[in-house]
Chains A and B, each alone.
Chain A
Amino acid sequence: MAEAPLFKPKLKVGKPLFGILVFLMYVFLSAPLLIVFIVSFDSNQFLSFPPQGFTFKWYELLPKETTFMNGLRISLIVAPIVTLIVLLIGVPAALALDRFEFKAKGALQSFFLSPLLIPSIVLALGLVLLFSPLRLTNTYAGIVIGHVAITFPFVVRTTLMSLATSDTSCEAAARILGANSWTVFRRITLPIIQPGVIAGGVIAFIVSFDEAVISLFVAESGLPTLPVNVLRYVENQADAAVAALSVILILFSLVVVVIVERVMGLRKALR
């Protein structure tokens, strides 16, 4: 069953031009990554481009650099907790938005997605003003709350997308066959929306791991996360250790995304 293509470009002349444009866009998107990759092997003492010699010393330096290691430790504590909490709140929220009809539905939906639209610096400032009297600055709780706020929209969105394509009569069928609400959720709903939930979780983890502004405002002095310490490090010494760290983080993210894609089909969930 071959389906006829909906759109068939007829411009034969434009084709090579189009190819060049696409190529340039790829170069543009990947240039920073490539440069970081190259610089991380540069023997020059200071961050610079083009490179002057080849070395592994920045990679060897990483485990000894306590700023990075402390930051990494804090980030690796924060990100999983954020992921867990945001899934526990975000998935039920998406379910409620999808399944129930209530007055403030539209407003609530916009509100849930609003952290995506607010500049993080505004959010960060607000959080500091709120957290100071509550003594939440420089605590894990403070960072986690901030990160949950900014990752929440992602989880709600990906879950809503999975819900939109799922057949609600499956749940009705399960209930008629004798399943109670919890069983229906665990055995039917959750498996069906799993791609969206996983995608939301992965995005939440990466966003939390990567987040600098809120972490900087809320817990710079007490609990600096990895991005905060990277920022600090670059302020003081401009060497290529940061580039080496970046390469490792990029590879780490890539591995996570590839594994999830292979196992769950992340692309399908994000479509």
Chain B
Amino acid sequence: MNSTKLSIVDLTKRYAPGLEPAVDRLNMSVEEGHLVALLGPSGCGKTTTLRMVAGLMDPTSGSIVVDGKDITHTPVNKRGMGMVFQSYALFPHMDVAQNVAFGLQMRKVPAKEQAKRVAAALDMVQLGHLAKRKVRELSGGQQQRIALARALVVEPTLLLLDEPLSNLDAKLRETMRTEIRSIQQRTGATTLFVTHDQDEALDMADRIAVMNGGLIEQFGPPTEVYERPNTHFVANFIGQANFLTANVVSENGPATDGERYYKVDIEGLGTFGAVGHPGLTGTHELVIRPQRLQASLHAPLGANSITGTIERVSYTGDTLGFSVRAGERLLHAQLMTSSADMPRQGDTAHLSWEAADAYIIPKTPQGPAS
């Protein structure tokens, strides 16, 4: 069984007394070998959290425990971490091999073993042939891999990645995503990965911690965070979402994974099927992903159906997005463009969904839904 590698307990960072904390009593535990993404908009505290784990920043309160040992007050150079920075932070006055060897030198590894491990690390990132190159002669993607090799060669207790892909162009970013993930899985390095890119997080992570305002809004596997968002923020931040305010009318029996089917009332549109945690009552927000809405131009496809007028069509090649107005509500739907029936602006459309795809956000909404 997997064991806990990193526990963060009530970690708080306040930059100045009186200011809102940048990280607010954060709790999280990371299993050995997992890659955990800290995902959120800028200013949500994800980088601050990472820097505290690295030891580059002192927490105001709370503790960080690695392998059962409290390292909150261990100096940064004694923590044995490996970190890849957004700017890569390669040492400009050293060549590639010297960069990678630096951590081994600090650990006083014998020269012979150093050379062996540096070569192995460079082979791992497929850049063995560049060992003698100057850092500035490398492309962004190569620098990125060298930074990864330098962090991993010391066999770090934790691998910390701070937005490592954000300086690469779109195409390379996807290649590096796969590569970093496969290297991480091969080495088994427990990894914390800071990103503001939901695709990166969904694609790479074992667990995603969605952060907002110094708090973790939800911590779970990618599918859970996407399909079963705990809060409006999570649903809104990850992927696209339609939000509908709904009143729970009745529970309609068990669904999968301990959830329940519900009958809900959406004001002005009627009653519909939805799914959610057991024991829900009162007013909640319903979230439906645009690509889970089925569209038909002729007749409603099923029980949970809304009829409206197509207000806008947006064609992006792979998919066709359109906005349907039903009363004062605007719903977004997405279709694969192979659909024979191409809807046009002004057409009447029927949008319908499976009850299992309309998820009731368990927390009651605070303020009007956007």
Which residues of chain B in 118-157 are interfacial with respect to chain A, using CB atoms and an 8 Å cutoff? 150, 154
B81 in the interface (beta carbon within 8 A): yes
In whole angstroms, what is the CA distance A257 to B202 when docked? 57
CB proximity of A167 to chain B, nearest CB, Å: 6
**Chain B hits for A194, CB < 8 A:** 93
The reply to whether the CB of A237 lies closer than 8 angstroms to some CB of chain B is: no
User: Most B CB atoms within 10 A — which of A169, A173, A179?
Assistant: A173
**A180 at the A/B interface (Cβ < 8 Å)?**
yes
Q: Give CA–CA (A183, B80) in the complex, Å.
A: 16
List of A residues within 8 angstroms of B90 by Cβ: 170, 173
Cβ contacts under 8 Å, A167 to chain B:
87, 89, 92
Q: Which of A132-176 contact B (CB under 8 A)?
A: 167, 169-170, 172-176
Check B93–A173 contact: CB distance below 8 A: no
Q: Which residues of B are found within 8 Å of A124, using beta-carbon distances?
A: none
The residue from B79, B80, B85, B107 contacting A173, defined by CB atoms under 8 A apart: B85
| Distance from B56 Cβ to chain A, minimum over Cβ atoms (Å) | 5
Closest residue of chain A to B81 (Cβ to Cβ) is A176
Inter-subunit contact A169/B89 (CB<8 Å) = yes
Q: Which of B52-75 contact A (CB under 8 A)?
A: 54-56
Chain B residues with CB below 8 A from A176, complex form: 54-56, 76-77, 79, 81-83, 160
Which chain B positions have C-beta within 8 A of A179? 77, 102, 106
In angstroms, Cα B93 to Cα A191, docked, is 7
For the complex, is A113 an interface residue (Cβ under 8 Å from B)?
Answer: no
Count of A residues near B, CB < 8 Å?
18
- Whether A170 pairs with B56 at a CB distance below 8 angstroms is no
Task: Please encode chain B, from 76 to 112, with 1 for each CB lying within 8 Å of some chain A CB and 0 for all others.
Answer: 1111111101110111110000000011001100000
Q: Which residues of chain A are within 8 angstroms of B150 by Cβ–Cβ distance?
A: 173, 177
Alpha-carbon distance A192/B91, docked complex (angstroms): 8
A91 CB to closest chain B CB, in angstroms?
17
What is the CB-to-nearest-CB distance from B370 to chain A, in angstroms, rounded to a whole number? 36
Q: Is the interface of A mostly helix, strand, loop or mixed?
A: helix
B78 to chain A: which residues have CB within 8 Å?
178
Contact B91 A174 (CB under 8 A): yes
List, in ascending order, chain B residues with CB within 8 A of A192's CB. 91-93
Partner among A172, A183, A188 whose Cβ is within 8 Å of the Cβ of B56: A172
Residues of B within 8 A of A170 (CB): 89-92
**Which chain A residues lie closer than 8 Å to B107 at the CB level?**
178
- The CA-CA distance from A109 to B93 in the complex, in Å, is 29
Contacts of A174 in B (CB 8 A): 91, 102
CB distance from B110 to the nearest CB of A (A): 16
Of chain A, the residue at the smallest CB distance from B153 is: A177
Determine if A178 and B154 form an interchain contact, defined as CB atoms under 8 angstroms apart: yes
Q: Nearest Cβ distance between residue A131 and chain B, in whole angstroms?
A: 42
Within the complex, the shortest CB–CB distance from B159 to chain A, in Å, comes to 11
With both beta carbons as reference points, the residue of chain A lying nearest to B80 in the complex is identified as: A178
| Residues in A176-216 with C-beta less than 8 Å from chain B | 176-180, 183, 187-188, 191-192, 194
Bound complex: CA A74 to CA B76 (Å): 48
Q: Which residues of B contact A187 (CB under 8 A)?
A: 102
- For B85, the closest partner residue in chain A by CB is A169
B76 touches A175 (CB 8 A): yes
Instruction: Enumerate chain A residues within 8 angstroms of B80, measured Cβ to Cβ.
Output: 178
Central interface residue in B85, B92, B106, by most chain A CB within 10 Å? B106
List residues 143-195 of chain B with CB under 8 A from any CB of chain A.
150, 154, 160
Docked complex Cα distance between A173 and B90 (Å): 8
- What is A's interface to B at a CB cutoff of 8 Å? 167, 169-170, 172-180, 183, 187-188, 191-192, 194
With A172-B54, A176-B82, A177-B102 known, 4 other A-B pairs at CB within 8 A are A174-B102, A175-B56, A177-B154, A194-B93
Q: Name 23 A/B residue pairs within 8 A (Cβ), A-sorted.
A: A167-B87, A167-B92, A169-B86, A170-B89, A170-B91, A172-B54, A173-B83, A173-B91, A174-B91, A174-B102, A176-B81, A177-B102, A177-B106, A177-B154, A178-B80, A178-B103, A178-B106, A178-B107, A180-B77, A188-B91, A191-B93, A192-B91, A192-B92
The 7 closest A-B pairs by CB, nearest first: A178-B106, A177-B103, A169-B89, A173-B89, A191-B93, A169-B85, A175-B76
